[in-house]
Structure formats: structure tokens, C-alpha cells
Structure 1
Amino acid sequence: MTASATGAAGLGWLLEGLLERTPGARHALVLSRDGLKLCHTADLSADRADQLSAISAGIQSLSHGASVEFGDGSGGVRQSMTEFYGGILFIAEAGEGSHVAVIAAEDADAGLVGHNMLELVEQLGEHLSAPPRPAEHVPAQ
């Protein structure tokens, strides 16, 4: 596991455990709402983890917009799934301002992947929170 935020340093074993108990799951990471990777499994390089974080944040942002327009208006997105040739990307809310993303093989059991992700989130959601980063103060000129 590689951590990019001190609070997420203890999550590596949890992500690795998720991969071990989920057949077909290949990669996992925790990211902030704005796409900052917090930690990821060892099989993802830092560059690939950054790329997956950005993609996942973009998908969640688009899903949030769809929820505002076509959902109940709260803008809540519990989970997203994108199926592509060669794999499936799952993204789930994981506490205040954070998400868990998992890449699985295209023949993985989507129900099992989603279940195991949500089980992890339910058990440890408070440890997976990423409050918004404060805006930088720009002095007036």
C-alpha cells in the first residue's frame, strides 16, 4: 500500500484485503472528492493511481450532476459503475468527501465486488473521510 495522506496510512491492509476476498478485483484506492489519491494498493504505480483518482473523481462529479437534475435533488451519489472493454470500474462513497474505487476484470461478479466494497465502507466509513481542503488565501493587491 502507498499512502499520500497521513490519515489514510493505515488503510493499505484493508484495501489489500478487499482485493484478496474479491475474485477478479485488480486495483483499489481511496480518493478525496476532488481527485486527490489518499492511498492505493501496491500493484498500482503512483502515476496510475493519480490517473485512476482523477477519472474516478470525474465520474463521481458527473454522477452528482445527474443526481441533482434527475434524482431527488439532494445530489447524493452512493455508487457508480462503469463497464468497459477489459474491465469494470466501481466507485462508492466512503465517508465525508471520500470515495473507494476498484478496478475489476470484466468477468468479475459485479454484485460481489459492490457488496464487498460497501461492506468495507460501512465498517470503516469514519476512517475514510477526507474533509474539503481549505482554499488558499490570496492577498489583495
Structure 2
Amino acid sequence: MTNIHSDELGRVLRDFVERMPHAYAAVVSSTDGLHKQSFGLSHPDHESKLSAVTSSMFSLGKGADQFFNAGTGTTRQVIYELDGGLMFVTEAASHTLLSVLASHEANLGLIGYEMKMLGQQVGRFLATAPRTASAS
């Protein structure tokens, strides 16, 4: 499977953030917390930190799934409401998370829907191969 070029992914994230009212940053990372690409973060150190945080948060959401339908469902999206704004996290492709940061004025339904659409459009190019243990 071909990966989307980093510059192209950066442009896709920029376009997404610029057309979503009240969104100000977007990050693509692996489900195990490795940063792949981002747009709109105020400091380069935030890229890896936010990737690790979103990985943990999405994992917690998947853990909560056990309380619904005997744990047979899929975690579609996790939304966190924080004092500073909103954080949306969804699995946009295999082993790949898309996270969006927005202000409290953001339309939750619109951002959630558009994140799903973005995942469907470019998700196959974003897939991250799972890490495997190396032979010792």
C-alpha cells in the first residue's frame, strides 16, 4: 500500500483545519503514539506529546467499549471536553489516528462527520503497519 507523501498530508490537514469553523490543529499519528504529520500546533514539541496523548486516550475509549454490547463494538470516535477546548480522536485508517483540536464553539457533529469523511477519502493512504517484535 502506498503512503501519502508527507507534504501532501500536511496540505490535506491544513485544508481540513482551515475549512472547519473553530478548529485550529490536526494531527495524524499511529495508534501506538508515533507522530506522522500535523498542522496548526504552536510548538514542535507538541507534535510527539499530542500523538502520545491521543494514542492513550483512544486506547481508553476502546477499553470502555467492554461496557457496551458485550465489548463487541468498535470505538468510532473519542471526544474530550477540556477547559481549553475540545479534542476529537478517531481511527482514520488501520493503526492510524486523526486528532483535531478545536475551541468550545465548534460544532461537534460537523467536525465528527468531516473527520469520518476525511478518513474515508485518504485513509487507505494513511494506514500504519503494526510494529512487530524483532528477532533477537
Whole-angstrom CA distance in 1 between matches of 2:42 and 2:135: 34
TM-score by length of 1: 0.85
Q: How many residues align?
A: 133
Residue number in structure 2 paired with 1:113: 111
Instruction: Tell me which amino acid in the other structure corresponds to 1:112.
Output: L
Residue number in structure 1 paired with 2:77: 79
C-alpha displacement at 1:68, in angstroms? 3.0
Choose the corresponding residue for 2:89, options 88, 91, 95: 91
Secondary structure of 1:48's match?
Answer: helix
Whole-angstrom CA distance in 2 between matches of 1:71 and 1:89: 25
Secondary structure of 2:122's match?
Answer: helix
C-alpha displacement at 1:75, in angstroms? 5.6
- Which stretch of structure 1 is more off in the superposition, 69-78 or 80-89? 69-78
Write out per-residue CA displacement over residues 113-137 of structure 1, whole angstroms, 9 at most, x where no aligned residue: 1122111111111011111122232
Whole-angstrom CA distance in 1 between matches of 2:91 and 2:109: 16
User: Please, which runs of 5 or more residues in structure 2 have no aligned partner?
Assistant: none
Instruction: Tell me which amino acid in the other structure corresponds to 1:49.
Output: E
Instruction: Tell me which amino acid in the other structure corresponds to 1:125.
Output: G
Residue number in structure 2 paired with 1:35: 33
TM-score by length of 2: 0.88
Choose the corresponding residue for 2:131, options 115, 130, 133: 133
Whole-angstrom CA distance in 2 between matches of 1:64 and 1:111: 20
Structure 1 residues 20 and 125: alpha-carbon distance in aligned structure 2, compared to 1, 3 A threshold: same
Residue number in structure 1 paired with 2:99: 101
Question: Identity of paired residues, percent?
Answer: 35
Secondary structure of 2:99's match?
Answer: strand
Residue number in structure 2 paired with 1:3: none
Residue number in structure 1 paired with 2:10: 12
Write out per-residue CA displacement over residues 75-133 of structure 1, whole angstroms, 9 at most, x where no aligned residue: 62111100111200000111111110000011111112112211111111101111112
User: Please, which runs of 5 or more residues in structure 1 have no aligned partner?
Assistant: 1-5
Choose the corresponding residue for 2:50, options 46, 49, 52: 52
